[in-house]
Amino acid sequence: MKIPYTNIAAQHVRIKNEILSAVGNVLDHGKFILGNEVEEFECRFADLCKVSYAIGVNSGTDALILALRSLGIGPGDEVITVPNSFVASTSCVALVGARPVFVDVRDDYNIDPSMIEQAITSRTRAILPVHLTGRPANMTSIMEIAKAHDLDVIEDCAQAVCAEYERERVGSFGTIGCFSLHPLKTLNACGDGGVLTTNDPRLYERLRKLRNVGLHNRDECHFWGYNSRLDTMQSAILLIKLHYVEEWTEIRRAYADYYRRRLNGLPQVQVPNEKSNERCVYHTYVIQADRRDELKDYLGEHGIDTKIHYPIPIHLQQAAKYLEYTEGQFPVTERLASKILSLPIYPELRIDELEYIATTVCSFYDTEEE
Ligand SMILES: *Cc1c(COP(=O)(O)O)cnc(C)c1O
């Protein structure tokens, strides 16, 4: 059996005709930039996240950059975030001229709230938690700390559309939520895309201008902005996919439950343990495994493709060298980097493939026993 880590083409088998017809409509009306589909998608996405406003942009990375810019965060400011993430959740801070300040994560991959306060200085402007793997960060604690210190919170929800903490959707807690619509995310465009969420009408207006070259109307510009609009074509496609995202999420959750039941008994493997106040959406299904590299090779030899999210913690990336963090400074993140392995998890994965993956993981450790 050959099982790829992702299979985007398989997602489109069922919905290809719907997508082609939506794309056809856009070709017919020709409003490729900020056509009606963009605002329609924004309204529906805001409903999905249970927030007042959503703003479509070019990518998840741009969503983060625009969020920081809209709050006036820049040179001289500090933003607290995690070294255990995709690089964009840190690069956005540096790209607006501010300084990323790292706080280690817990075993659940997300920011350790008990370590945030000691990282706060007079220059701190915001906390930027990441809902990594589609698991919500502890938003109750984070919002309490932010409130006590008068800080903004920018949620990196790139991996977490429809995830919930205490029955509230991510992207609705902080000042601004930032989502990615990259093809590999759980609500995916056929190309790049991103979206911001907020309940603040003034930020909504500012973000709409920031993503559209700062234009107040066709001819007047009140401040410099970016060209970072979500395409009409992508919005039309996303409107189709929005119909399926809850169903797809439930399948991911059922698959995660299957993996948990099959792998939980292995002493060499730690599976994600969802808490009762969390709804995880499993953008990735990350286990912590003894002899991780050997397991990865073994699975590869048996036709199963896996990934590591992420093998190099951000504070140890060459790009972060000037921040002068050293190895050993974030022990949980560093330990995780040597143990984590992402197993395939997507709605189009067949049940027999899922069973084969779980069985093959078990057989790797069985052979070890002999
Ligand atoms: C994917 C991702 C981003 C960036 O999104 P893009 O749409 O690829 O720019 C940011 N943060 C996290 C945690 C991500 O997974």
Tell me which H or E stretch contains 153: strand 152-156
Report which ligand 1 atom has the smallest distance to the Cα of 184: 1
Q: Looking at residue 265, what is its pLDDT?
A: 92
Report which ligand 1 atom has the smallest distance to the Cα of 59: 7
Pairing of strands 53-57, 194-198: antiparallel
Q: Looking at residue 368, what is its pLDDT?
A: 59
Q: Which of 61, 211, 309 to mutate to test the pocket of ligand 1 (most atoms within 8 A of CB)?
A: 61
Ligand 1 contact, 63 CB (< 6 A): no
Q: Looking at residue 369, what is its pLDDT?
A: 55
Assigned token pair, 94: 């540096």
Cβ atoms of 4 and 344 within 8 Å: the answer is yes
Ligand 1 contact, 59 CB (< 6 A): yes
Cβ atoms of 187 and 240 within 8 Å: the answer is no
| Partners of residue 130 on adjacent β-strands | 156
Question: What residue ranges do the domains of the chain occupy?
Answer: 8-242, 245-369
Tell me which H or E stretch contains 247: helix 245-263
Ligand 1 contact, 155 CB (< 6 A): no
CATH for 8-242 (3.40.640.10, 3.40.50.720, 3.40.50.300, 1.20.120.1750): 3.40.640.10
The per-residue pLDDT for range 313-329, each reduced to its tens digit, is 999 999 999 999 999 99
Q: Looking at residue 249, what is its pLDDT?
A: 98
Ligand 1 contact, 159 CB (< 6 A): yes
The pTM is what? 0.98
Average pLDDT score over the chain: 97
Q: Looking at residue 367, what is its pLDDT?
A: 72
Ligand 1 contact, 158 CB (< 6 A): yes
Its CATH class, for the domain covering 245-369, is alpha beta
Low-confidence ranges of the chain (pLDDT < 50): none
Q: Which of 91, 133, 156 to mutate to test the pocket of ligand 1 (most atoms within 8 A of CB)?
A: 156
